[in-house]
Structure 1
Amino acid sequence: MSPDSTTDELSTAARPCTHEMIVVHRIFRRESALLPRLVRAVPDGGTPRAAKVARHLRDYLEGLHSHHSLEDELVWPLLRERAPDDRLVARMEEQHQRIDKSLVAVTDWIPVWERAADHIAGEELALALDEHRTALLEHLDDEERLVLPLIAEHLTVAEWDLVGRRGLERVPKDKLLLALGAILEEATPTERAHFLGRTPLIGRLLWRAVGRRRYATACRALRAPLDGGAGR
């Protein structure tokens, strides 16, 4: 997508701004790539570090579950009613189920690994995260390429905005600035202006005063052992 088309899509009020979903998807693409590397970087027996990575992993799982449950509740039913062919909706639902299955092994291995930071358990967890990412990327690619155009055509702006509001309501208040930072980390200037423009004034002021620094500090602390930053 060219910069001009991104600007047009972010600025129009006549149809849902589906490009927002692409920006949010970047969080899941980035974190799903980082997580197995973070697990593998924990030294054998390094339980304090394992606990820190495990907390981040649980936040990721909660965020992904919230994101997908909102689609299940607020998007797929409308597309099933209005789109001329609901096979893509069935495909999205099947992919959600496949992603859920990929996370069974992840959730099983987290407490086993976290207790002792055992290298073998860590590698099992990292392998499960690798498999999860494969299923996730297939879904994100299909959703962006095939489903977002249907959302733009068949949902109203109000219906689409409700998805974003409900998602924001589910973020714990003490993590709102970190969530904003995760969105803005790889955003273009146009995208940053769009998301900050939709943030209440108090949120923008807090972001500039403390949020930006707090997010950068949290990223450095979490990713320090990787040295190379986020893999894509």
Structure 2
Amino acid sequence: MNTVQILAVSPRKSGEREPDLTSMYVIHRAMLADLRRLTDLLGGAGPLLGARLWATRAYAAAILTEVHDHHANEDELLWPIIERTAGHAVDLSPYNDDHQALGPILDRCRAALGRDRHELEWALGVLLHMLDEHIAEEESQLFPIISRFVPYEAYAWVEKQVAKRAGLAQLTFTAPWLLRYATADEGARLLAGAGAPLRLLYALTKSRYARRERMVFG
């Protein structure tokens, strides 16, 4: 249930600054890329034993958390802002329907974490297929609406609320994970907007994330 009081906002006026959707593009890229890497790894012929198997399951669990939280944040924070600024220009019900459909497959993925690797591969593959289609539609059809109607400050408010919701344990994964998939220019923009505490957190966690990634993917 959303308990955040949604910002009072009017549509962006022509000539005003457009929202910076860098974080959305990067998290979409990161989710899809790592789901592909995980399904390739789990479906491969190489052994996954001991510490590497444990690390793979833990990494997959972290990705599932990112997928769930990303879509919950859209439902509870971004969608209300879009409805207030661009409700006349877009029907969000197809995106809501997609999010509802993700729930059961996320549950199936979580249930498969402790089971046979190929069951987890199958479940993550279904999730990847669903997200691939959903993200392509979102970026091609919804992002232009956001850029046209949502003010820069309103979108920045959404990003701040998302950061407040994430706990420290999650941010130790999220911060270096996102920067891992950002271009140099995107990374600079993300760090510039993150604030000093998150920049420090990234500096402290990027090496740990790199070791974790190597443990799973080699």
Q: Report TM bin, short chain.
A: 0.7 to 0.9
2:132 aligns with 137
- SS of the aligned residue for 1:185 comes to helix
Offset from partner CA, 1:54-101 (integer Å, 9 cap, x none): 2112211111111101110122233334332443x1111111122223
**Residue number in structure 1 paired with 2:6:** none
Equivalent position to 1:191, from 171, 175, 186: 186
1:47 Cα offset (Å): 4.8
Q: Which amino acid aligns with 1:163?
A: V
Matched, 1:152 2:147: yes
Given that residues 105 and 128 in structure 1 are in contact (C-alpha distance below 8 angstroms), is that contact kept between their aligned partners in structure 2?
A: yes
How high is the TM-score relative to the length of structure 1? Answer: 0.76
2:18 counterpart residue number: 15
| TM score, norm. by length of structure 2 | 0.81
Does the 8 Å contact 2:179/2:187 carry over to 1?
yes
Distance 1:206 1:170, change over 3 A: closer
Which of 84, 92, 95 is the aligned partner of 2:98?
A: 95
Mapping for residues 190-209 of structure 1, pairs under 5 Å: 190-205=185-200, 207-208=202-203
Please tell me whether residue 221 in structure 1 is matched to residue 208 in structure 2.
Answer: no
The runs of at least 4 consecutive aligned structure 1 residues that moved more than 4 Å come to none
Residue range with higher mean Cα deviation, 135-144 or 22-31: 22-31
Change (3 A) 1:201 1:78: closer
| Structure 2 residues without counterparts, runs of 5 or longer | 1-14
Shift of 1:196: 1.4
Give the Cα–Cα distance (whole angstroms) in 2 for the partners of residues 205 and 96 of structure 1.
33
Contact between 2:55 and 2:212, CA under 8 Å: does it hold in 1? no
Q: Which residue of 2 aligns with 1:180?
A: 175
Say whether residues 1:75 and 2:78 are aligned partners.
yes
Q: Identity percentage over the alignment? A: 24
The whole-number CA distance in structure 2 between the counterparts of 1:168 and 1:187 is: 18
Indicate yes or no: 2:122 matched with 1:127.
Answer: yes
Q: Is the 8 A contact 2:90 2:145 kept in 1?
A: no
Gaps of 5+ in 1: 1-11, 114-120, 225-232
The residue type equivalent to 2:18 in the other structure is: R
The alpha carbon displacement at 1:168 in A equals 1.7
Give the structure 1 partner of residue 206 of structure 2: 212
| Aligned-CA RMSD value | 2.4
The AA in structure 2 aligned to 1:19 is T
RCO higher in structure (CA 8 A, sep ≥6)? 2
Match of 1:230 in 2: none
Tell me if the contact between 1:38 and 1:53 (Cα under 8 Å) persists in the aligned partners. no
